[in-house]
């Protein structure tokens, strides 16, 4: 059994932040917190750094020049390594609208990559953000490929993913939308509503059918109006519903980031990146699915000017919540770790620093720069 200790200025545990403490890692799990090392132990002194639970990105299309739709191990592995450098220990490989066959191929590839393994952040499954959307709120998706979510099509997706489809986004107002929510929920798929013009009442029906959250809150959904709460109002009003949020200050203004946090709290606000293949790269021209995307000053837009994912990283999203919204640091960290893990139902293993959980953690400095990342106690990234 491999055992070692980490010592840091701060340790962000599930219950609070400990000062100048030790963390014991044994056989890939957290064995003890705030403990005294045994004699002749392997100790790594991290100085003034903070140990935080590793981040979980529920919604990411690509990074490092590769996209999930490339449907190759090289693509998924590169994304895995690139985001591990930003403190991510697990992610859902997220598809975009494309041909039906290419979407199925991407789902099959995610399954294969999980079996083969990757070198960075763990592939937790796939997230289908594609196909079953509203034309009006298509955003950076090619509307000509939209389809109805029939049970036959859903079964094809489930078969291609072979147990690894963890989440699916749809517009509940499309033909068969509510029935699809019920069916997918029965198959243990987390259904998110997004790219939708659904009214409050339709959203309520979707939530009653089993939908658990809203896709990138306020972006490509019917907005909040004082006489028509819309999709955004429905997500914010229903306490148990999760809100994905791209906390880059562009997709959602910091004032609205604050409002979302006040209404949903840290336990129902899940920070995501919605990152596309340009993540970690310079400005320029890229592809997101079938669309050409121009990245300028780190902001990705289609040729029509619509936002097209982001180049955000989760460590930066956490920093933005702390610096721009004045969120308590532990809550900000948990919005990118424990909350996503809870949404996926894996919070008994991942998402926080607690004795018995997997030692999938990150080390950050005071500038929120990631210095090291560990998955199951194995170092998958080091800045040094």
Q: What confidence score (pLDDT) does residue 307 get? A: 82
**N residues, the chain:** 384
Annotated catalytic sites, by residue?
Answer: 274
Q: What confidence score (pLDDT) does residue 39 get? A: 83
Count CA within 13 A, CB hemisphere, residue 55.
33
pLDDT > 70: percent of the chain: 99
Asked whether the beta carbons of 211 and 244 are under 8 A apart, the reply is no
- Tell me the sheet residues that pair with 126: 93, 165
Kindly report, residue by residue over 270-295, the tens digit of the pLDDT: 999 999 988 888 888 887 777 788 88
Average the pLDDT over each of 19-28, 76-85, 142-151 and give the range with the smallest value: 142-151
Structure tokens at 284: 């320029």
Cα distance between residue 180 and residue 72, in whole Å: 29
Kindly report, residue by residue over 65-116, the tens digit of the pLDDT: 999 999 999 999 999 999 999 999 999 999 998 999 999 999 999 999 999 9
The average pLDDT across 206-230 equals 96
Q: pLDDT: is 128 or 282 the higher one?
A: 128
Cα distance between residue 221 and residue 329, in whole Å: 29
Q: Which of 67, 161, 59, 184 is nearest to 107 (CA)?
A: 161
Q: What confidence score (pLDDT) does residue 275 get? A: 94
Under DSSP, the state recorded for 132 is: S
Asked whether the beta carbons of 30 and 353 are under 8 A apart, the reply is yes
Q: What confidence score (pLDDT) does residue 286 get? A: 85
Residue whose token pair is 């079964």: 155
Structure tokens at 185: 């929920």
Angle at 107 between CA 101 and CA 111, to 5 degrees: 140
Q: Binning pLDDT at 50, 70 and 90, where does residue 308 land?
A: confident
The count of other CB atoms within 10 Å of the CB of residue 39 is 5
Q: What confidence score (pLDDT) does residue 1 get? A: 56
Under DSSP, the state recorded for 93 is: E
- Tell me the sheet residues that pair with 67: 62
Cα distance between residue 27 and residue 202, in whole Å: 48
Q: pLDDT: is 187 or 285 the higher one?
A: 187
Instruction: Name the phi and psi angles at 153, rounded to 5.
Output: -65, -40
Q: What confidence score (pLDDT) does residue 281 get? A: 86
Cα distance between residue 368 and residue 346, in whole Å: 25
Tell whether pTM > 0.75.
yes
Cα distance between residue 257 and residue 66, in whole Å: 29
249-76-277-185 Cα dihedral, nearest 10 degrees: -50
Q: Which of 379, 139, 156, 180 is nearest to 274 (CA)?
A: 139
Asked whether the beta carbons of 250 and 310 are under 8 A apart, the reply is yes
For the cut 60, the answer to whether the pLDDT of residue 342 exceeds it is yes
Work out the mean pLDDT of the chain and round it to a whole number.
95
31 Cβ contact partners less than 8 Å away, ≥ 6 residues apart: 3, 24, 25, 355
Helix (H) or strand (E) holding 233: helix 230-237
Cα distance between residue 174 and residue 196, in whole Å: 9
Q: Binning pLDDT at 50, 70 and 90, where does residue 153 land?
A: very high
Cα distance between residue 353 and residue 54, in whole Å: 9
Could you tell me the CA-to-CA distances from 201 to 197, 221, 233 in Å, in that order? 11, 14, 11
């Amino acid at each position: 059994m491999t055992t070692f200790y980490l010592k840091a200025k701060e340790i962000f545990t599930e219950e609070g932040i400990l000062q100048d403490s030790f963390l014991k890692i044994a056989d890939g799990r957290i064995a003890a917190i705030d403990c005294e090392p045994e004699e002749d132990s392997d100790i790594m002194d991290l100085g003034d750094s903070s140990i935080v639970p590793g981040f979980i990105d529920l919604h990411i299309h690509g990074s490092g020049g590769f996209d999930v739709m490339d449907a190759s191990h090289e693509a998924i592995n590169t994304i895995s390594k690139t985001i591990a450098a930003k403190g991510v220990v697990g992610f859902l490989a997220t598809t975009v609208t494309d041909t039906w066959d290419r979407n199925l191929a991407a789902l099959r590839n995610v399954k294969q990559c999980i079996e083969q393994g990757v070198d960075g952040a763990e592939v937790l499954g796939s997230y289908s953000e594609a196909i079953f959307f509203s034309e009006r709120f298509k955003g950076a998706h090619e509307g000509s490929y939209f389809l109805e979510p029939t049970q036959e099509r859903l079964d094809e997706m489930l078969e291609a993913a072979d147990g690894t489809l963890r989440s699916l986004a749809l517009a509940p107002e499309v033909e068969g939308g509510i029935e699809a929510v019920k069916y997918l929920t029965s198959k243990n798929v987390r259904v998110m509503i997004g790219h939708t013009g659904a009214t409050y009442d339709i959203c309520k029906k979707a939530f009653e059918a089993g939908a658990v959250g809203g896709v990138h809150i306020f972006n490509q959904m019917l907005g909040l109006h004082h006489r028509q709460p819309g999709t955004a109002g429905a997500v914010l009003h229903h306490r148990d519903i999760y809100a994905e949020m791209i906390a880059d200050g562009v997709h959602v203004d910091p004032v609205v980031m604050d409002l979302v946090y006040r209404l949903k709290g840290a336990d129902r606000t899940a920070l995501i990146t919605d990152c596309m293949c340009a993540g970690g790269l310079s400005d320029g021209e890229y592809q997101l699915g079938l669309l050409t995307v121009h990245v300028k000053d780190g902001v990705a837009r289609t040729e029509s000017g619509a936002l097209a994912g982001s180049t955000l990283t989760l460590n930066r999203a956490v920093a933005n919540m702390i610096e721009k919204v004045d969120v308590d640091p532990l809550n900000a960290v948990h919005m990118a770790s424990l909350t996503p893990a809870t949404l996926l139902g894996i919070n008994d293993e991942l998402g926080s620093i607690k004795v018995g959980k997997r030692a999938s953690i990150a080390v950050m400095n005071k500038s929120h720069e990631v210095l090291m990342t560990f998955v199951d106690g194995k170092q998958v990234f080091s800045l040094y």
